[in-house]
Structure 1
Amino acid sequence: MTEDTPPDEERGTEPTRAGNEQHGPARLSARSEPQPAHRRRQAETVQSISRIASRWRQCPRCSVWADTASRSSDNTCGICAHSFPLSARQRITLLVDHDSFHEHDAMLEAGDPLCFTDRVPYPERHRAARQKTGLHDAAVYGTCAIGGHPTVMMVLDFDFMGGTMGVVVGEKFLRAARLAIERAVPLTVVSASGGGRIQEGTFALFQGLKTATAVALLRETSTPFLSVLTDPVFGGVAVSYSSIGDVVIAEQGTRAGFAGRKVIERTIGAKLPADFQTSDFLLRHGHVDIVATRRQLRPLLQNLIAFAARSALPPGPGEPPHPHVSAAPASGWQAVALARHRQRPRLDHYRDTVFHDMVTLHGDRSEGDDPALLTALGWLDQRRVALIGHVRGPGGFDPAHNWGMPSPCGYRKATRVMRLAARWGIPIVTLIDTPGAYPGPRAEENNQCAAIAETLATAARLPVPIVCVVIGEGGSGGGLALCLGDRLLIQENATLSVISPEGGAALLFGTTAQAPHIAARLRLRADDLHRHGLVDEIVAEPDGGAHWDPAAAAALLKAALRRTLAETERLDTANLLTQREKRLTSFGTVWDLGEETAPRDA
């Protein structure tokens, strides 16, 4: 929907006092005809006030009045950085390289097949919007560069009938998508819309079918699609394309959703929370990947477009394996203690030392954003990678990260980013460090089992290399979810087990006092796992453990990842999937006791 523009107010007239006979004829004559100079001064005063008023606007966030002429070039409040609206042309100027934007199909216009009239006929309303904005419809698209990296960009202008999507907006999105596919460059779309255009009726409604088809084509051809939400985005634009980009970014202060706040409150008769549908709400509930200020948008898009468009490096010779000198803990229980050590480096340390220029992606686009599981895009030297891993926080036992125990939305987030990596042709690195998945009632209500199973099934057939590393505890199904790949590495003092020693002892002995005994019997040490062929390689740690020298531990892990990724990237997709399937289906040995060759004591 779009808000109707109120009719222009009629100009007021000077009140007459001709009927005030008690003052006498002479006094009436003097007051009925003001001096021309007075009239001129009055008109000049009104014009001056109008000019001043048009230059000043009150910030809706901090309530400070500011001179529009003194605002920064990005049209934000100098006090609280609130983002004031931008036209499509202003937005393009702000985001793209100077003189790089070349518009396509600027003259497209829609007809009026419904002969629609509200307070004025649709053609008249459309004509007024053209005069107001200088555009022929709400969408502007073309080719450009951001930071020297080519992209196709489309921007909606809210000043053109509320940025509503009609036939022209739908057609321009389709043409922009096809152009991006043809040129093999990312598509970047900046949306600001009140929804579908009422004046075009079901023709406008069905543009959602057209734009959804265009998104499917982008995915089918692995063409990156970056969606930027700016205030506001509702209705037809939100339900068809803006909410399902490969990466969805919300400008700070944006409101977005299916229906507007007032419509929902009137429909359901309930008062909504103050932050309902705001950018912070969208991030907290997992609907967007990133919330960025207006000043952060250009460098963020530059980074993402460079990342999405960059071809993977040709496989190099890699590095020779680091000689592993076993200094394994004397017992399984000692291994558990080292894996849980409060000074042991965790994912945040390796993210900042092994990788660089990481962009964290948030949310499962459905339920929420799990702080116990990180998903990010970034670089390992000059190689693009998608990083997925458990987050345990400071000391490894941080309640803010749920002690590293993911919920269903965490695994759904991981699955979403795995599929994104497959579309963009990016190898995946997973870092496993969790006591297990979160076992609470909320997790069961949201189908924890299916979330983990879907993550595993997705990873099994992804057409990109997957390298998994156990860096701490690999606990039960929660750890298993990130163990499926082409190679499984484990740090020297990490552990991997079907259950925690305490949990196993409680089940088998009815007391956790037997945990050290169960730890020994589970054979959960790196050496045990490698000897049984359950892990492919042990990554050495500094003497005494990774916590004695985190920087050295990071260097050893980085070298192992370089080498392993180089090995897997040499394989074409068919061989990669064949070898992965062979590896994953080979664990364990079974005997058919019906065959005479089977040993009876097996």
Structure 2
Amino acid sequence: MIETDPGLTVLDRPDWVKCGRCAELVYGKRFTRGLQVCPDCGDHARLTARQRLEQLLDPGSETPLEAGRTPHDPLGFVDSRPYPERLDQARAVTGMREAALCARGTIHGHPVVVAAMDFRFLGGSLGCGVGALVTAAANESLRTRAPLLLITASGGARMQEGVLSLMQMAKTAQALAELDEAGVLVLSLITDPTYGGVAASFATLADVILIEPGARMGFAGPRVIEHTIGERLPAGFQTAEFLLEHGMVDAIVSRPALRTTIRHFLALDATRDPDRVETPAGAPTPFVSTANEPDEGDPWEAVRLARHSARPTTLDYAGRILDDFHELHGDRIGADCPAVVGGVGLLDGLPVMLIGHQKGGDNLAERQRRKFGMATPAGFRKAARLMRLAAKLGLPVLTLVDTPGANPGPDAEANGQAVAIAENLRLMARLPTPIVTVVTGEGGSGGALALAVADRVLIGENGVYSVISPEGCAAILWKDPAAAPAAAAALRMRPRELLRQGVVDHIVREPPGGAHTDPGKAAALLRAALIRVLDELLPIERTRLVRERGDRFRRFGVEPDTRTEGSA
């Protein structure tokens, strides 16, 4: 038998291969049809750069890209063999000039520029040649405004090129920064393994980071870490699953689903679907029409209804009001808070970024896992990351608020809860894209406001919104938590009271008895409300939009100037 890579063994009988993980025999043609994914254990065997391009690009769409000449042997480096000999051998084995291939092409008809790395070529190491190719691909993406797709596989920087190899990290990061400034989408597909200088530069600077199941990524490799700290690492360390849990990647995507998933992101262009029909004049309104009538019923019962565990969650609404919704994960610092969810989808043909609190629905274990919708700093930072991505691509931001408040735990405080909330308030105040907030249930304190500095603020007919929970207010001012019903009345936190104060702009109708009685109808009403409000906001020039958003919040708590001209 012949060893080809750690995940695959080709037997002397070429019709069969043995999986490197589970050791099961797989018929070769079946293995190829399955994109070299083991049908028994799901192990993803390593692919060459050429195989990557052939699997992802539409047939016949590929146009190769080249880069300028780079130093062949800048240091005259010799270890056990001269560096030029290693290069010549790598070129003979792979048929490639360098450890990456770059091309223009299409995926499901959408233009894309691809830079794909090949681990067979000196471990996919980042040297001057790879840096030049990745930069050339970024420059082509900048020129054509086609999204850039980076497919990484690397052991790190190329030591034989010394500090010039190190400089490629800054060079490629600079190229991606130019794409950020130009509003061009960058996708990264992490494959096994991706380490060192590649992981610490272009691989993790993408707007959306996808990773194959089981793929590993990190700055230092496991052996280096264990040798340095003298400890054994936990099982699964630096794997795709570990990285998702720790907020470093957006999604784990199996190889058969890659083309469809990538197509979804390539299709985001912040333009209206030309076939989209605007809300017709005279269509039934999804809004409660008047604030003149008092809110009916007991204020405390209104709070209890807003908190009803069966009210639709953000993910429930995402599945009902958006087409082709893809959730994105992680704050890129160290966590993926389950109390805040977000992602991109189509609202009546319009690409939008949806972000919201996720309480967990009518399942206690799930509500506990979701921290009852009380976000940690990682949740607010995830939201901020997605808002910045929306602004870069020109996508409207929709936020759904349903939380008793920010997470009050000691870990949240130690990780900068107050700072994370403050940063979101500042970011949303100046974000150059339309923002619409809907309080779908309970809007509590700064944890709610951190997702609610918006051009238009809506509230469900059975929602509430306040500076503090009634229980908290009662404990502080009444010195008695049992006074919560009295506090609920005093705080005037119900929809019509909020509308009269100017805190919300519209009240969204709900089915009789509340959104939980008919989630489908509730979603239809919310969808119609969002379409109406976005129809109003989208034509507004962005500088004016931000200015008017600022004016909105400056007015709160200020008495109107009633002086007439010439008065003292």
TM class by shorter chain equals: over 0.9
- Paired residues in the alignment total 546
For 2:23, which of 43, 57, 63 is the aligned residue? Answer: 63
Instruction: Report 1:171-190 matches (<5 A).
Output: 171-190=132-151
Aligned twin of 1:443: 412
Quote the Cα distance in structure 1 between the aligned partners of 2:262 and 2:377. Answer: 29
Distance across 2 between alignment mates of 1:310 and 1:488: 22
Q: In 1, distance between residues paired with 2:257 and 2:219?
A: 26
Q: In the alignment, which residue of structure 2 is the partner of 1:330? A: 297
In structure 2, do the counterparts of structure 1 residues 262 and 61 end up closer, same or farther at CA, with 3 Å as the change threshold?
same
Q: State whether residues 184 and 223 of structure 1, in contact with CA within 8 Å, keep that contact through their aligned partners in structure 2.
A: yes
Deviation at 1:107, TM superposition (A): 8.4
- Aligned ranges 1:40-439 → 2 under 5 Å: 52=12, 57-73=17-33, 74-105=35-66, 110-307=71-268, 309=269, 311-313=271-273, 318=279, 321-322=285-286, 324=288, 328-395=295-362, 398-439=367-408
Which residue number in structure 2 is paired with residue 559 of structure 1?
528
For structure 2, the residue ranges without an aligned partner over 5 or more in a row are none
CA contact (8 A) 2:38 2:44 kept: yes
Q: Distance in 1 between matches of 2:10 and 2:532?
A: 69
Q: Which SS does the other structure have where 1:418 is aligned?
A: helix
* 1:507 Cα deviation after fit: 0.9
Query: How far, CA to CA, are the matches of 1:116 and 1:169 in structure 2?
Result: 18
Change (3 A) 1:525 1:193: same
Find the aligned partners of 1:64 and 1:51 in 2 and give their Cα distance: 12
Q: Take 1:520 and 1:579, find their aligned partners in 2: how far apart are those partners? A: 32
Task: Please tell me the residue identity of whatever aligns with 1:183.
Answer: T
**1:418-455, Cα deviation, whole Å (9 max, x unpaired):** 00000000000000000111100000010000011111
Query: Could you tell me which residue of structure 2 aligns to residue 457 of structure 1?
Result: 426
Matching residue's letter, 1:390:
H
* Alpha-carbon separation, structure 1, partners of 2:485 and 2:396: 38
User: Equivalents in 1 of 2:518, 2:127: separation in Å?
Assistant: 60
**What is the CA-CA distance between 1:343 and the residue it aligns to?**
2.5
Larger deviation, residues 487-496 vs 115-124: 115-124
The answer on whether the counterparts of 2:510 and 2:522 sit within 8 Å (CA) in structure 1 is yes
Alignment of 1:462-477 (within 5 A): 462-477=431-446
The 3 A distance-change label for structure 1 pair 276 and 207 is same
* Range that drifts further, 465-474 or 93-102: 93-102
SS at structure 1 position matched to 2:475: helix
CA-to-aligned-CA distance 1:480-503 (integer Å, 9 cap, x gap) = 111101000001110001111111
Question: Which residue type is aligned with residue 301 of structure 2?
Answer: Q
Secondary structure, counterpart of 1:588 in structure 2: coil
Given that residues 109 and 137 in structure 1 are in contact (C-alpha distance below 8 angstroms), is that contact kept between their aligned partners in structure 2?
no
1:71 aligns to what SS in structure 2?
Answer: helix
Q: In structure 2, do the counterparts of structure 1 residues 267 and 55 end up closer, same or farther at CA, with 3 Å as the change threshold?
A: farther
Check the 8 A contact 1:328/1:492 in 2, yes or no: no
After superposition, the C-alpha distances for 1:127-164 in whole angstroms (9 at most, x for unaligned) are 00001000000111010000010000110011111111
Q: Residue 287 of structure 2 contacts residue 507 of structure 2 at CA under 8 Å; is this kept in 1? A: no
Equivalent-residue separation in structure 2 for 1:262 and 1:384 (angstroms): 44
**One-letter amino acid of the structure 1 residue matched with residue 121 of structure 2:** F
Q: Which amino acid aligns with 1:568?
A: L
Q: Which amino acid aligns with 1:509?
A: W
SS at match of 2:327: strand
Aligned runs of 1:472-487 on 2, under 5 Å?
Answer: 472-487=441-456
How far off is 1:396 after superposition? Answer: 7.5
Say if 1:322 and 1:311 are closer, same or farther in 2 by CA, change over 3 A. Answer: closer
Q: String of CA shifts for 1:515-536, please: whole Å, max 9, x gaps.
A: 1100000000001000111111
The answer on whether the counterparts of 2:471 and 2:481 sit within 8 Å (CA) in structure 1 is yes
The answer (yes or no) to whether the contact 2:313–2:358 under 8 Å persists in 1 is: yes
1:591 Cα offset (Å): 9.0
Q: Aligned with 1:152: secondary structure?
A: strand
TM (normalized to structure 1)? 0.87
Cα shift at 1:63: 2.5
Deviation at 1:327, TM superposition (A): 8.6
Amino acid in the other structure paired with 2:163: T
Taking a change above 3 Å as real, the CA distance of residues 67 and 342 of structure 1, as seen in their structure-2 partners, is closer
Matches within 5 A, 1:514-525: 514-525=483-494
After superposing the two structures, state which structure 1 stretch, 311-320 or 135-144, moved more. 311-320
The one-letter code of the counterpart of 1:513 is A
Using the TM superposition, give the Cα deviation of residue 242 of structure 1 relative to its aligned residue in structure 2, in angstroms: 0.3
Percent identity between matched residues is 45
Tell me how far apart the structure 1 counterparts of residues 267 and 559 of structure 2 sit (CA, whole Å): 49
Relative to structure 1, the CA distance from residue 124 to residue 234 in structure 2 (aligned partners, 3 Å threshold; closer, same or farther) is: same
List per-residue Cα deviations over 1:250-274 (Å, max 9, x = no partner).
1111000001100110111110001
CA distance in 2, matches of 1:189, 1:50: 29
Contact 2:270/2:395 (<8 A) preserved:
no
- 2:87 and 2:287 map into 1 onto residues whose CA distance is 73
> Equivalent residue for 1:511?
480
- After superposition, the C-alpha distances for 1:546-587 in whole angstroms (9 at most, x for unaligned) are 222222211111111001011110101111111111112111
CA deviations over 1:32-80 (Å, ceiling 9, x no partner): xxxxxxxxxxxxxxxxx99716765542322324354541331111211
Aligned residues of 1:290 and 1:361 also touching (Cα < 8 A): yes
Residue 52 of structure 1 aligns to a residue whose secondary structure is coil
User: Which amino acid is the alignment partner of residue 250 of structure 2?
Assistant: D
Which is further off, 341-350 or 183-192?
341-350
Q: Please state whether the residue corresponding to 1:82 is helix, strand or coil.
A: coil
Cα distance in 2 for residues equivalent to 1:50 and 1:466: 55
> 2-side partners of 1:447 and 1:78: how far apart?
45
Question: What residue identity is the alignment partner of 2:494?
Answer: R
Distance change in 2, residues 1:347/1:70 (3 Å)? closer
**CA offset digits 1:454-511 (Å, max 9, x no partner):** 1111111111000000000000111111110100000111000111111111111222
- Name the SS for the 2:362 alignment partner: helix
2: CA distance between counterparts of 1:53 and 1:125? 31
Q: Distance in 1 between matches of 2:167 and 2:49?
A: 24
